[in-house]
Structure 1
Amino acid sequence: MKKLIALDLDGTTLNPESKITDKTAKILQRAIADGHSVVIATGRPYRMSKNFYEQLQLTTPMINFNGALVHLPEQHWIGEQETSFNRKIVFDLMAEKKNLKLDFIAAENRETFFIDDLNFFDKHFFASDFATAENLLTMNTLRTNPTSVLLRSQPENVGSVSEELKQQFGHEVEVNTWGGPNPILEVVAKGIQKAHGLKRVIDTLDFQQDDIVAFGDEHNDVDMLKFAGWGVAMANGTDQLKSVANAITEKTNAEDGMADYLAKYLDL
């Protein structure tokens, strides 16, 4: 039976250097050649995941912003869906920035980003060579509702900040960790999770829920692994995720753990 392989990026498909190794790429391409489908499901915006989509030569829909954007890259697709939330929340967060101990606040949509402090601009992080005054987050520049908001704090503060955000804004938004080496929290519209995006994909690609094999490492992957017919947590994953997984990889993302498990699972 052909499978839909749903892949988180950071901490799962990507190694600690944020790269897809040759081994992982070859195993995924072998799975595709055998008739399986590979779908990326990431908290990253499209501009920061486009290169991996192209590296794997995918033609499937892609899930970005933890499910807030479901699209077929660079193409018109009838199943496309982008979910935003009220921009007033962004300005409420800016007013609470000091109390929340945030380094920066960045509001995003598919095409661009706005950051409240250009001193924190990093071309690698934002996948852009430069930022100008047009990228400065203000009421005048952010004229539409955002798809996602990224918040950076210090690693020791992320847990408490997340809980505070859920108390203040939990009736309107979801708060997730971004995964990977950066202490980033991502805010998306209420009810949006990777599983939400994955359901959109299978409804349009004619897969069944039981056909999904999903891999992840962070708590923002919990709903996706629960939704999948077979959910696999990485050896380097959180205890919370491992507790809901059907299986756990023997190796970490530093050891091609996802690819190693998939090769055995699909008998490639």
Structure 2
Amino acid sequence: MTKKLIAIDLDGTTLNRHSKISPRTIDVLKKASAAGHHVSIATGRPFRMSAQYYQELALDTPMINFNGGLVHKPYQKWPFEKEHFIQKEIAFEILAQKENLNLDFVAAESRDTFYINRLEDFESSFFAADKATEANLFNNLKTNPTSLLIKTKHEFVSKVSTTLMNQFENEIDVRTWGGPNAILEIVPKGVQKAMALEVVAESFKIKPKNIIAFGDEHNDLELLSYAGWGVAMKNGTDQLKSVANDITEKTNDEDGLAEYLEQHLAL
């Protein structure tokens, strides 16, 4: 069978509502790897908040973080690695509008560093990090970050996104995370998952027609469009389903990805 590159989003796709990968999904993805396919995570999360899943799946493939802001091979030197940055001044300008925009927090990060406007807003469980070693205050931000993370309430997401896109229209794109929290990620203009997936595909010499991609949110639109076979989750947005080649019969809480892959690749 032709070897496939399987690109998997995390929140709302590979992860269930408790941000866990079910034993069945782990089993199926490991079977896919064992069959010679390349399983590659493509997430909006920083590496710090996705490393555990990379390890659970026992991957050694390249990984996409920050919605395409970073494509790398964790724990290894990799000649294809790419990282993009946002001007740090934008982070300070958004922080100045925190009250007006109804933001719970503003955070800035790159691969190894993490900054937040108030340490009181730093929930170590949410950020999958230890306060003592990971969080810095914004006034320590001296270099351009790879992405900004802002948390608001679901009813404000649309307004926040539109306001910031208008204000910094030539400099940033605003993306949503899937999952239960109203998290917006701000990345450099033009950065998206498909751009990074193309780098991964070239490293394996795999053509787009041999890529299967799974997602659930509007930050997966380009990913599914670029892949030869784009699969939207049953729990995905209508917009994403409209560009997908297929839709899983079950949701992320019902092992929809695992069941689909098992049948599609006859694992």
Give the TM-score, by structure 1 length: 0.97
Question: Conserved in 2, the CA contact under 8 Å of 1:162 and 1:175?
Answer: yes
Q: Which runs of 4+ in 1 moved over 2 A?
A: 131-134
Residues of 1 paired with 2:199 and 2:169: CA distance?
24
Deviations 1:20-63 (A, max 9, x none): 11100111111111111100000000011001001111010000
Residues of 2 paired with 1:160 and 1:260: CA distance?
37
Q: Which sections of structure 1, spanning at least 5 residues, go unmatched?
A: none
Letter in 1 for 2:210: D
Quote the residue 2:184 is aligned against: 185
Deviations 1:73-113 (A, max 9, x none): 01111011111011110111011111111111000011121
Superposed, which structure 2 residues align to 1:105-116 within 5 Å?
Answer: 105-116=106-117
Q: Measured at CA, do residues 264 and 120 of structure 1 come closer, stay the same or move farther in structure 2, by a change above 3 Å?
A: same
Q: What is the CA-CA distance between 1:4 and the residue it aligns to?
A: 0.3
Q: What is the CA-CA distance between 1:205 and the residue it aligns to?
A: 1.4
Question: Conserved in 2, the CA contact under 8 Å of 1:121 and 1:131?
Answer: no
Residues of 2 paired with 1:49 and 1:10: CA distance?
10
Identical residues among aligned pairs (%): 57
Letter in 2 for 1:149: L
Q: What is the CA-CA distance between 1:117 and the residue it aligns to?
A: 1.6
Greater shift after overlay, 225-234 or 91-100?
A: 91-100
Q: How many residues align?
A: 266
Question: Conserved in 1, the CA contact under 8 Å of 2:116 and 2:135?
Answer: no
SS in 2 for 1:232: strand
Quote the residue 1:264 is aligned against: 263
Quote the residue 1:62 is aligned against: 63
Quote the residue 1:210 is aligned against: 209
Question: Conserved in 1, the CA contact under 8 Å of 2:4 and 2:212?
Answer: yes
Quote the residue 2:246 is aligned against: 247
Quote the residue 2:41 is aligned against: 40
Greater shift after overlay, 217-226 or 166-175?
A: 166-175
Question: Conserved in 2, the CA contact under 8 Å of 1:4 and 1:213?
Answer: yes
SS in 2 for 1:214: strand
Question: Conserved in 1, the CA contact under 8 Å of 2:122 and 2:135?
Answer: no
Superposed, which structure 2 residues align to 1:157-172 within 5 Å?
Answer: 157-172=156-171
Residues of 2 paired with 1:156 and 1:176: CA distance?
16
Q: What is the CA-CA distance between 1:132 and the residue it aligns to?
A: 7.3
Q: Measured at CA, do residues 32 and 98 of structure 1 come closer, stay the same or move farther in structure 2, by a change above 3 Å?
A: same
Residues of 1 paired with 2:9 and 2:106: CA distance?
23
SS in 2 for 1:149: strand
**What RMSD over aligned residues (CA atoms) do the two structures have, in Å?**
1.2
Letter in 2 for 1:231: G
SS in 2 for 1:101: coil
Give the TM-score, by structure 2 length: 0.97
